[in-house]
Amino acid sequence: MSTPLPERPNTVSGLNAKREELLRYRKQLHAEIRKVTCDIDHLEAAARLFTDGASFTGFKPYVVHHRARKGTVKRFILGMLREAQGPLTSAEITEAWLDKRGFSPNDETRVVMRKRVGAALISLRNQGVARNEGVRDGLKGWVRV
């Protein structure tokens, strides 16, 4: 049995064209977000030159404002584990995530992000999708099941 052809091929073609247009627009917006994120990083670094670090309050908004959409970190981690030749540590995954997002964070932010990646890894382990394998540089290695 053959599949009937759509009655309005121009409509389907138009919808596909609009979808492609929106995908390009979304890609441009993501690039702009990365640029603005880098600009924020630079402003915070300049502000740190004039403060003693402990009194600088830019850290918490930085972490909150650059929160990833739900499921994005887990998808990123699974992709990294899938492509990896061996076990990856949470620090390696965190650095790749920060690089992908265009961040150049300070050490405090890096620690917070590594904790978030670690929490996602534990969640993936509890779901039976990832497991620990070995230790490197004092950190657990992770692989995809």
Average pLDDT for 63-82:
78
pLDDT digits (tens, 9 = 90+) for 86-138: 899 999 998 898 888 777 677 777 888 888 888 999 999 999 999 988 888 88
pLDDT at 36: 85
**Residue 10, pLDDT score:** 80
Q: Which pLDDT band holds residue 67 (cuts at 50, 70, 90)?
A: low
Burial zone of 113 (CB within 10 Å; 0-12 exposed, 13-18 middle, 19+ buried): buried
The pLDDT of residue 57 is 53
Task: Please list the residues that pair with 139 across neighbouring strands.
Answer: 136
- 9-144, what's its fold? Arc Repressor Mutant, subunit A (1.10.10)
114 or 5: which leads in pLDDT:
114
The amino acid sitting at 94 is: T
Residue among 89, 84, 87, 74 at smallest CA distance from 123: 74
Q: What is the dihedral of CA 82, 85, 89, 91, to 10 degrees?
A: -90
Q: How confident is the model at residue 70 (pLDDT cuts 50, 70, 90)?
A: confident
List the domain boundaries for the chain.
9-144
Q: Is the pLDDT of residue 24 over 90?
A: yes
Tokens representing 100 are 């992908």
Q: What DSSP character marks residue 56?
A: -
Total number of residues shown for the chain: 145
Whether 87 and 139 have beta carbons less than 8 Å apart is answered as no
Tell me the pLDDT of the chain averaged across its residues. Answer: 81
